[in-house]
Amino acid sequence: MAGVDYLADERNKAEFDVNEMKIVWAGSRHAFELSDRISRLVASDPAFRKDNRPMLSRKELFKNTLRKTAHAWKRINELRLTEEEANKLRFYVDEPAFADLHWGMFVPAIKGQGTDEQHQKWLPLAYKMQIIGCYAQTELGHGSNVQGLETTATFDPQTDEFIIHSPTLTSSKWWPGGLGKVSTHAVVYARLITDGKDHGVHGFIVQLRSLDDHSPLPGIIVGDIGMKFGNGAYNTMDNGVLRFDHVRIPRNQMLMRVSQVTREGKYKQSNVPRQLVYGTMVYVRQVIVSDASYALSRAVCIATRYSCVRRQFGSQNGGAETQVIDYKTQQNRLFPLLASAYAFRFVSEWLKWLYTDVMQRLQANDFSTLPEAHACTAGLKSLTTSATADGIEECRKLCGGHGYLCSSGLPELFAVYVPACTYEGDNTVLLLQVARFLMKTVSQLGSGKKPVGTISYMEQAEHLMKCRCEVQRAEDWLKPSVILEVFEARATRMSVACAQNLSKFANPEEGFSELLADLVEAAIAHCQLIVVSKFIEKLRQDIPGKGVKQVLGMLCNIYALHILHKNLGDFVSTGCITSKQASLANEQLRSLYSQVRPNAVALVDSFNYTDHFLGSVLGRYDGNVYPNLYEEAWKDPLNDSVVPDGYHEYIRPILKQQLRTARL
């Protein structure tokens, strides 16, 4: 029945002001209003329809993406959208496309690594999309090891040009999004060679295709790398392969903010750290943390609403069966994910602030916070994307069999999302960067160099190494100071234990290699502490709205206690808590699940997602799942005819043969 809200009872149970929570989730009233307006604009435009994606062939899918991206660009210009609005529009169109890399990596790479003159030349062209760019770093042979890239950029002083060349098969650029079929330009990372000397990897702006007919320029071989995981899904993106055969570019197309090559071929370094060449990755990792909270919240929204609609067992005297959300097992799987979505949202807001702060400092030649920014973006990218990828899959299972249908929206969300664990830095490789940062910090303890920012807890290392958790009753676990101290103690003890074990090796690099698995665990402990502490910090702020702060407090405790429960080995073996305190934490967790239960649907409504964006029959706002699931099935092209294509060739002969056999 149209217009009936099957989840109305659930919504009536809410103990907090949903409209105020929507503002907290969005980040501000302005962000909420903007997001609300743009999401409705996208949802109401038939050109942005996306429910047919799984049915399309790769070619149709890709062309469809080109059409949508062109339409989005047209609307952005017609409506004169601001950069913030345009980003939101692309976000709600919800289809990975070359434009993500153009705006998300090509433009930031030029901004971050280019000089003022380079900005003046290239940015206006890129802003108007008169050129379309991608970020060509990864090669067939090397992705994680950026210093191992093989493409060369050799300076020719005769002509004042660089010669870009792919010397081996493994030096072929491989993976860059938008490269395969669309980009006219790329920021290419290559080894800079002047006068026979290799100066390591630098960025260069290289034109790939003609601006007249889109054909590759001489010396360039370029194409798509082929079909990826899942139908539809990330196959809207033209991840590409690229080879150079002595392609010449003018000297001023090397991005020269960090280092320069003079007309005479002299290599000079600016007064800025070499790591700024990696700056675009720091930027995108920060964006990816924010994206994790959105992807996880989508899956959680679908699973929560559907868990309220779905009933199994427990009917008494012919009454309704139990809503599956009322099973403690369902809550134990779902509510920590709901809490994680909020936790990641808040930590991503903080990370955005950190990134902005670092950028402002860089402008003033203050590079002191760069290592911490790198460790935080790398670590949180790793932690949140791994948890989100696992969380989406868990949400699929929480929806039982129907979760496996494409119309649930979950298979496609999973397929689009999982590469986030790999792109922009493999998650294990990134955790090892955090571990290096931690080991450096521990080694400097007592040297007079104060640990600052997210690592400042290590200043209390002496106390944290020996403190005992004071929890005696389950309610004691609700104290933020108790949770913080336990997480700080665990992170410190794990890092210090690694450092002590490392010191047993004569060769530190050999020790590091041997202890990789422990180092990753220590890095995870540190990153989980950051997420918990930023949630607690958020709750210290003034949060208006009836019941909003209280329910967020429940989610914060669920996030922390669930992490504690899942990592009991760490907490108990490092002596941070006793097994008795562990079981009290579990008791508290169960009680928190009961408290969150009536608020569950309102908490996912607070994400303010349109049905278009969710793209899920199971997650529909009105909860009217069954008739729509039924209707959706009939839309499948297989149901276009009652007797399937192929019946006469393949089914009938078998049936006839069986008939003959039966007669014998």
Ligand X SMILES: Cc1cc2nc3c(=O)[nH]c(=O)nc-3n(C[C@H](O)[C@H](O)[C@H](O)COP(=O)(O)OP(=O)(O)OC[C@H]3O[C@@H](n4cnc5c(N)ncnc54)[C@H](O)[C@@H]3O)c2cc1C
Ligand Y SMILES: CCCCCCCCCCCCCCCCCC(=O)SCCNC(=O)CCNC(=O)[C@H](O)C(C)(C)COP(=O)(O)OP(=O)(O)OC[C@H]1O[C@@H](n2cnc3c(N)ncnc32)[C@H](O)[C@@H]1OP(=O)(O)O
Q: Which residues belong to the annotated binding site? A: 138, 177
Burial environment of residue 320 by CB neighbours within 10 A (0 to 12, 13 to 18, 19 or more): exposed
Check residue 425 for interaction with ligand X (CB under 6 A): yes
Q: Choose among ligand Y, ligand X, none what residue 147 binds, the Cβ cut-off being 5 to 8 Å by kind.
A: ligand Y
Residues comprising the chain, all counted: 664
Among 138, 194, 236, 616, binds ligand X (CB under 6 A): 138
d(CA 227, CA 115): 38
| Tokens standing for residue 256 | 């020269």
Residue 256 DSSP label: -
Specify whether the CB–CB gap between 336 and 558 falls below 8 A. yes
Nearer to ligand Y, 262 or 444 (CB): 444
Among 137, 183, 253, 348, binds ligand Y (CB under 6 A): 137
For the segment 148-187, give every residue that binds ligand Y (CB under 6 A): 177
d(CA 246, CA 166): 8
Among 252, 386, 422, 443, binds ligand X (CB under 6 A): 422
Long-range contacts of the stretch 656-660 (C-beta < 8 A, 24+): none
Check residue 291 for interaction with ligand Y (CB under 6 A): yes
The residue of the chain with the least Cβ separation from ligand Y equals 104
d(CA 326, CA 332): 10
Among 247, 287, 421, 602, binds ligand Y (CB under 6 A): 287
Nearer to ligand X, 186 or 536 (CB): 186
Task: Show which residues are catalytic.
Answer: 424
Among 32, 175, 283, 306, binds ligand X (CB under 6 A): 175
Nearer to ligand X, 234 or 457 (CB): 234
Run of H or E including 185: strand 185-194
β pairing state of 185-194 and 133-136: parallel
For the segment 503-532, give every residue that binds ligand X (CB under 6 A): 516
Among 69, 239, 492, 581, binds ligand X (CB under 6 A): 239
d(CA 20, CA 25): 9
Nearer to ligand X, 386 or 610 (CB): 386
d(CA 380, CA 531): 8
Determine the distance from the C-alpha atom of residue 31 to the mean position of all C-alpha atoms in its chain, rounded to a whole number.
20
Specify whether the CB–CB gap between 523 and 491 falls below 8 A. no
Within a 13 Å sphere around the CA of 664, how many CA atoms are in the beta-carbon half?
6
Q: Choose among ligand X, ligand Y, none what residue 322 binds, the Cβ cut-off being 5 to 8 Å by kind.
A: none
Using the contact rule CB under 6 A, the part of the chain among 135-143, 149-157, 205-213, 390-398 near ligand X is 135-143
Check residue 307 for interaction with ligand X (CB under 6 A): no
Find the shortest distance in angstroms from Cβ 419 to ligand X.
4
Determine the distance from the C-alpha atom of residue 601 to the mean position of all C-alpha atoms in its chain, rounded to a whole number.
24
Check residue 170 for interaction with ligand X (CB under 6 A): no
| Tokens standing for residue 174 | 């491989």
Within 8 A by CB and 6+ apart from 203, the residues are 109, 113, 187, 188, 189, 254, 255, 277
Longest CA–CA separation in the chain, Å: 94
Check residue 275 for interaction with ligand Y (CB under 6 A): yes
Start-to-end Cα distance in the chain: 54
Nearer to ligand X, 107 or 136 (CB): 136
Nearer to ligand X, 133 or 623 (CB): 133
Amino acid at 650: Y
Check residue 411 for interaction with ligand Y (CB under 6 A): no
Binding annotation for FAD: 138, 177
Q: In the 3-class helix/strand/coil scheme, how is 2-42 assigned residue by residue?
A: CCCCCCHHHHHCCCCCHHHHHHHHHCCHHHHHHHHHHHHHH
Q: Choose among ligand X, ligand Y, none what residue 104 binds, the Cβ cut-off being 5 to 8 Å by kind.
A: ligand Y
Nearer to ligand X, 96 or 336 (CB): 96
The residue of the chain with the least Cβ separation from ligand X equals 143
Find the shortest distance in angstroms from Cβ 144 to ligand X.
3
Q: Choose among ligand X, ligand Y, none what residue 661 binds, the Cβ cut-off being 5 to 8 Å by kind.
A: none
Check residue 279 for interaction with ligand X (CB under 6 A): no
Phi, psi of 11 (to 5 degrees): -70, -35
Where does this chain bind ligand Y (CB under 6 A)? 90, 100, 103-105, 135, 137-138, 143-147, 177, 275, 278, 281-282, 284, 287-288, 291, 370-371, 374, 423-425, 429, 433, 436
Where does this chain bind ligand X (CB under 6 A)? 101, 135-138, 142-144, 175-177, 234, 239, 419, 422-426, 428-429, 432, 516
